[in-house]
Amino acid sequence: MAIFTAVRNKKQTAGTMMGVLKYVTRACKTMLDDQWMVTGHNCVARASYLEMMTTKQQFRKTDGRQFYHFVQSFPAEDGLTPQQVNAIGVEFAQKQFPDFEVVVATHLDTNHLHNHLVVNSVSCKDGKKLHQNAADLQRHRQVNDEICMAHGLQVLEPPKKHTRKKQMRPGEYQAGLRGDSWRLDLIQAINDALEYADDWESFVENMEYEGYEVIWTDTRKHITFVCPDGRRCRDSSLHDETFLKENLETLFAYRQAVGFRPNTPEPEEGWMGELASELVRLGRSIEEADDLPPLPAPPAWMESKQRHREALKKLALGQKLSRGQSWQQTMW
């Protein structure tokens, strides 16, 4: 069974993307004898940063989110080889990100093999920006399971609903009497997300990882929560004033003022614990790293690749190539 998770990268700069690519492709983590277990989808792995930045510059989309980062982890008992694990990661990238540059790096330095997938946020085919939400993450996990089953691997069973350990508040009890179990699940998810949030951005991210979409804007008086099944619920309908937008804003302002540090969960035992520990180390190294130098000038072969892309775009739009420019000239 493979666990598919998304890595939160709050810092979204070109330097951070370079740092992540350097981290996931390090030889001490990816070398199997003389074989480098890193594969590029729509890009050359060793030139992935330059190619991703070339794509952004070509379509003039160098700002905002730079990349997405996912981890696909396999327990040792699956008995897979590094080559098989890397191939599964590449198959996933081809299915879920067909028009985007993706680096698939297989790490061999722990008891369990796992893939890091770094995805460019701009399509190398049409320049569209990639946007991901909770529904997309759920879809990725579904496709991940389908690929694993096709390779004869077991998949995780749907998680069982955990029992509540805390005493129910009067408002929650009344909701339960009315049969609003989905509302209770939402309240539990909010409580869980608040335990690890020091600002509203991290709270929204935590909720997305629980499968909920959060609509929180400056122009709206209320927060709207969208459940995994599509139900919508305002903060004012949760029977607890703690979850009102103004009260959460006050809570986060206080946490920022006192230097609140979110709780970190107890590490799990076994390969899941190793995965969690590695993600924590990765996050710390990225947060502590300064921005890296600006993008160097691309080599000549990269310029020819960009000319080739521009020519393809012109032909697709029914335009003629510029005078004196042939199809062969765009290739070299």
- pLDDT 10s digits, 135-167: 888 889 889 989 988 888 877 655 444 434 344
User: What's the pLDDT score for residue 331?
Assistant: 39
Contact 275, 73 (CB under 8 A): yes
Instruction: Provide CATH code, domain 3-158+275-288.
Output: 3.30.930.30
Radius of gyration of the chain (CA): 23
Extents of the domains making up the chain: 3-158+275-288, 170-257, 300-330
User: What's the pLDDT score for residue 235?
Assistant: 92
According to DSSP H, which parts of the chain are helical? Answer: 14-24, 27-30, 48-58, 82-96, 134-150, 170-177, 181-195, 200-209, 245-257, 270-288, 300-316
User: What's the pLDDT score for residue 19?
Assistant: 87
What are the pLDDT digits (tens) for 10-25? 678 888 898 889 889 9
Task: Estimate to the nearest angstrom the gap between the alpha carbon of 219 and the chain centroid.
Answer: 27
CB atoms < 10 A from the CB of 95, how many? Answer: 13
User: What's the pLDDT score for residue 301?
Assistant: 53
Contact 133, 208 (CB under 8 A): yes
User: What's the pLDDT score for residue 323?
Assistant: 53
Using a cut of 0.85, tell me whether the model's pTM lies above it: no
Residue ranges, the chain, pLDDT below 50:
159-168, 264-267, 269, 289-293, 326-332
Block residue for tokens 């199997």: 32
